[in-house]
Every structure is written in structure tokens, then in C-alpha cells.
């Protein structure tokens, strides 16, 4: 039986008088890919930021590996095995590809040997061959798709137990979206990393996920196994253009 890795319980987050999350509760078990879907402004990114300690909780609790995360600071997370790949890539443009990757391992150095970092970097270059070709190139000169690959690689090099992905396909051409989701599948299959995926591309997200939550105006409105949500008439009408999706469609 899979054990609980991450649990959000009645989480409330506000920006001044604006309530961004209104009592959100979700659960992610070890080895799962969980998708969080919703429109712009629903609170998806805020939820990830609350896990990453970027924004404080007003109410509620977050548990990681059964322990309350309240005492952890943001810089503790890499050591604890949590990596956050934020929306918008946010690579260091004046550093090379390899330097960006090396920085991703900085917070986890206390638990990783140099050999482990180099081995993981080799795996990332196999996952995204274009990064190997451009490892000495400044990150700011990469294309948008290449920067997204680098951002994911920077999150992976710390060998996380939990990977938080915020809109990894946003703004990418369809062929690159397919490549990114293929990489997400490989990451999960080859490393066993648990993934919390925030994504607007509902078809792709549901096709790769085990379970999904629909977030609307700061509240969970629908949840269930991803395969069931892909056939749910409410989800189909709001997020899938009226058509269901299966894993076969994405492969």
C-alpha cells in the first residue's frame, strides 16, 4: 500500500483581503502523479507556492512524509527532497546551462555525493539531449522550450522525492508540449519521483496522471481518478472541449 507523501489540510492563503485558497485539501501518495487543473486565477500556482514556503498559510496545515511542514523554511526544502519548477522557467540567463543545473543541486549537497550529482546530470542530458549540446551556452540565449527543459532539469538534479511542476507546457508549441509531457512520463517511470502537476492543458495532464483535482476560485470543486475525470461530463465541457481523452491518444 502506498504511503502518504504530501497532504494539504484545509489550507487558506490570502493576499491582503483577497482569498486565494479557501480551505484546500489534497493528498499525494508516494509514486503518484497528481494533476491540479483550473482556469487562470483559480489558485493553482498559489497552492504550489504554499507548499514551497513562498507564501505563508493563513490557516490549515501541510504535511510532508507525515510531518508538519510549519517549522521548515524555503531553503530547507531541497534537503528534504522537494523541488519546485516555477511557472515562467526563471532560469539564470547569464549563467550557462551546466551552471544552472549545478545551482539546482546546491540546497541538496548535504545529502548528495558529488558522484550522485554528476550521475543525475548525465541522466538529465539523456532526458533532454539538446541541453547536453548546449551545456556551455548561456541560458538566456536558449529558446523557450529549451529553457523549460533546463528548468525541469534544474529541479531534477537534486534527486527530489517530490517534484512540483507549475505549468510546464505554458506558451510552448504543440510539438514541444508533447516532448515535455513525454519527459514527465519518463521522469516518473525511470526515477519513481512523485509529481504534483499544475497544468492548464487538461487533456495532456489527465492522460499522464493517476488522480486529479479541479481548482475553481480557490476551492476544490471536483476530484477523482484521472481516468474518471477525463470522462466526466462537467470536466469535458469545461476543460476538454467536450471530448474525452485516453492515454493512448497521447502516446
pLDDT digits (tens, 9 = 90+) for 40-67: 889 999 999 999 999 999 999 999 999 9
pLDDT digits (tens, 9 = 90+) for 137-152: 999 999 999 999 999 9
In terms of Cβ atoms closer than 10 Å to its own Cβ (0-12, 13-18, 19+), residue 185 is: middle
Q: What is the pTM of this model?
A: 0.90
Lowest mean pLDDT across 61-75, 194-208, 236-250: 236-250
Sorting pLDDT into bands at 50, 70 and 90, what band is 247?
very low
The pLDDT score that the predictor gives to residue 110 is 67
Cα separation, 121 vs 123, in Å, equals 5
- Could you tell me the domains of the chain? 31-53+74-250 (3.40.50.300)
The pLDDT score that the predictor gives to residue 226 is 96
Is 246 a residue whose pLDDT tops 50?
A: no
Average pLDDT over residues 161-182: 93
Q: Which runs of consecutive H residues, i.e. helices, occur in the chain?
A: 44-51, 77-80, 97-104, 114-127, 129-133, 144-156, 174-191, 202-208, 226-229, 233-239, 247-250
Q: Show the cell assigned to 92.
A: 539564470
Amino acid at each position: 500500500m502506498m504511503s502518504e507523501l504530501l497532504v494539504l489540510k484545509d489550507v487558506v492563503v490570502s493576499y491582503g483581503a483577497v482569498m486565494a485558497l479557501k480551505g484546500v485539501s489534497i493528498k499525494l501518495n508516494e509514486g503518484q502523479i497528481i494533476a491540479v487543473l483550473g482556469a487562470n486565477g483559480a489558485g493553482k500556482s498559489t497552492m504550489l507556492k504554499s507548499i514551497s514556503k513562498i507564501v505563508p498559510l493563513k490557516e490549515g496545515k501541510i504535511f510532508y512524509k507525515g510531518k508538519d511542514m510549519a517549522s521548515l523554511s524555503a531553503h530547507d526544502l531541497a534537503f528534504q527532497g522537494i523541488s519546485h519548477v516555477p511557472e515562467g522557467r526563471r532560469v539564470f540567463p547569464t549563467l550557462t546551462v551546466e551552471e544552472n543545473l549545478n545551482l539546482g543541486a546546491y540546497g541538496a549537497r548535504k545529502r548528495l555525493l558529488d558522484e550522485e550529482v554528476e550521475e543525475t546530470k548525465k541522466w538529465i542530458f539523456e532526458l533532454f539531449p539538446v541541453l547536453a549540446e548546449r551545456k556551455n551556452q548561456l541560458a538566456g540565449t536558449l529558446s523557450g522550450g529549451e529553457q523549460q527543459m533546463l528548468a525541469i532539469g534544474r529541479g531534477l538534479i537534486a534527486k527530489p522525492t517530490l517534484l512540483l511542476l507549475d505549468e510546464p507546457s505554458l506558451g510552448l508549441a504543440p510539438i514541444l508540449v508533447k516532448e515535455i509531457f513525454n519527459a514527465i512520463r519518463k521522469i516518473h517511470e525511470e526515477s519513481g519521483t512523485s509529481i504534483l502537476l499544475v497544468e492548464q492543458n487538461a487533456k495532456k495532464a489527465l492522460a499522464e496522471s493517476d488522480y486529479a483535482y479541479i481548482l475553481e476560485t480557490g476551492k476544490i470543486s471536483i476530484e477523482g481518478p484521472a481516468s474518471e475525470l477525463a470522462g466526466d461530463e462537467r470536466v469535458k465541457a469545461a476543460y476538454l472541449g467536450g471530448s474525452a481523452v485516453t492515454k493512448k491518444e497521447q502516446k
